[in-house]
A and B are shown apart, each in its own frame.
Chain A
């Protein structure tokens, strides 16, 4: 099986990896780069657990052909916290008990970050729409929605990281 070199930035760091033909981005991030923050849920584009930002926009890494991210800027949940300082979204998720098993949290956080980066003061309906492609089987969504709205009020959308 042939391999192709691919370079991109992940959370601001330059990355250069060899990817296999047909390999998806999630697999490359987890096994090739070692960023375990995006999760493998369904592999079908249904659950949203693998959501990462590509050039600031949410994408499903399980359905992204890895070689197509050549030269692009990627963000994952692994880059949200700055050292011991949680990102306001992470902090709000913790305070609102927005994670139980936590498997969806990574995708939820990136979907929420994409929203707040674009729209720092979203309405409740806009939050619901932003996470409409992310499935949570534990919380019933309410704590997640409340956490995102709370993070917005605390200025998460105005933070650059």
Chain B
């Protein structure tokens, strides 16, 4: 099956083309779509591109940062405003992938990818479509694959205070490899106790997700080995990690408390 490529000047025009064609997919950096094209994916036959400069911009807006969906991991690493996301961007692939892979694309990455999405989940991320509609990232992910597909224009995140945001990616290959388990944590403290923690995993389910059981177990706990013990015991409550070439479901469950502990105390 041949592929048709349509290029538009604005993201609005591209969104319009996407909404009217179930066989169209938007391409940002190409690391997902071109891979599918190379593999002969038959689920789409049109690739939509947008040469919209706004997709590549990072802008502060109040206490939030607006990150264009076309911003690459390399752009994040070059941005002082996004320094809190540097460890996350650095964990994504090698330099060539980072020059191509975009924030928007990461929202659509299938298991075992999606490290950036896990981080965004705990940074109170809002996803804005080209039409202006916004939703919380968790809601966006739930409806991600439903038709009609929208075009993600940007995401916005809260800039964390020092020490609140933690990130850790575990893989079996050094220095870089596919994630065995990625943990992102937002752990604010009040009076020496954790209050309002947000925890997300990637590579532990079909897509990155918040882990409610761990968040509840952290509420009111101290951020030390004793304080987080209940959270570690709940590390895999309610989730069934996948088995893949990297690790079995059993293995992921066994090591999850170890990586969660490292993320919380060393991340």
Residues in A with CB closer than 8 Å to B2 are 1, 20-22
CB of A132 within 8 A of CB of B5, answer no
Cross-interface CB contact of A59 among B4, B39, B99, cutoff 8 Å: B99
* A75 → B minimal CB distance (Å): 13
* B170 → A minimal CB distance (Å): 16
CB of B47 within 8 A of CB of A22, answer yes
CB of A65 within 8 A of CB of B47, answer yes
> Chain A: which residue is nearest B90 at the CB level?
A129
Residues in B with CB closer than 8 Å to A62 are 34, 38
* B49 → A minimal CB distance (Å): 7
> Chain B: which residue is nearest A62 at the CB level?
B38
Which of A29-37, A43-51, A80-88 is found at the contact surface with chain B? A43-51
Residues in A with CB closer than 8 Å to B175 are 128-129, 132
Q: A43-B39, A68-B49, A114-B95 are in contact. Are A21 and B31 (CB under 8 A)?
A: no
CB of A63 within 8 A of CB of B176, answer no
Chain A: interface residue total (CB-CB under 8 A): 31
Across the A-B interface, how many residue pairs have beta carbons closer than 8 Å? 90
Residues in B with CB closer than 8 Å to A43 are 35, 38-39
Residues in A with CB closer than 8 Å to B100 are 45, 59-60, 63-64
CB of A132 within 8 A of CB of B176, answer yes
Interface size class of B (residues with CB under 8 A): 20 to 34
Residues in B with CB closer than 8 Å to A129 are 94-95, 175
Q: Does B27 sit within 8 A of A, measured CB to CB?
A: yes
Q: Does A134 sit within 8 A of B, measured CB to CB?
A: yes
* B41 → A minimal CB distance (Å): 11
Residues in A with CB closer than 8 Å to B99 are 57-59
CB of B31 within 8 A of CB of A63, answer yes
Q: Does A106 sit within 8 A of B, measured CB to CB?
A: no
Residues in A with CB closer than 8 Å to B87 are none
Cross-interface CB contact of A24 among B38, B94, B96, cutoff 8 Å: B38
Residues in B with CB closer than 8 Å to A22 are 2-5, 37, 47
> Chain B: which residue is nearest A50 at the CB level?
B96
CB of B95 within 8 A of CB of A64, answer no
> Chain A: which residue is nearest B6 at the CB level?
A21
Q: Write the A88-128 contact mask toward B (1 if CB under 8 angstroms, else 0).
A: 00000000000000000000000100110000000000001
Q: A22-B2, A60-B100, A128-B175 are in contact. Are A65 and B34 (CB under 8 A)?
A: yes
Cross-interface CB contact of B4 among A21, A60, A64, cutoff 8 Å: A21
CB of B5 within 8 A of CB of A58, answer no
8 Å CB interface, B89-104 against A: 93-97, 99-100
Q: Write the A2-40 contact mask toward B (1 if CB under 8 angstroms, else 0).
A: 100000000000000000111010000000000000000
Q: Write the A51-81 contact mask toward B (1 if CB under 8 angstroms, else 0).
A: 1000001111011110110000000000000
**Contact residues of A with B, CB < 8 Å?**
1-2, 20-22, 24, 43-45, 48, 51, 57-60, 62-65, 67-68, 111, 114-115, 128-134
List 5 contacting pairs A-B, 8 Å CB cutoff, sorted by A. A43-B35, A44-B35, A51-B96, A67-B5, A132-B93
In addition to A45-B31, A68-B30, A133-B95, 13 A-B residue pairs with Cβ atoms within 8 Å of each other are: A21-B5, A22-B2, A22-B3, A22-B4, A45-B35, A45-B97, A45-B100, A48-B96, A58-B99, A62-B34, A62-B38, A63-B35, A65-B27
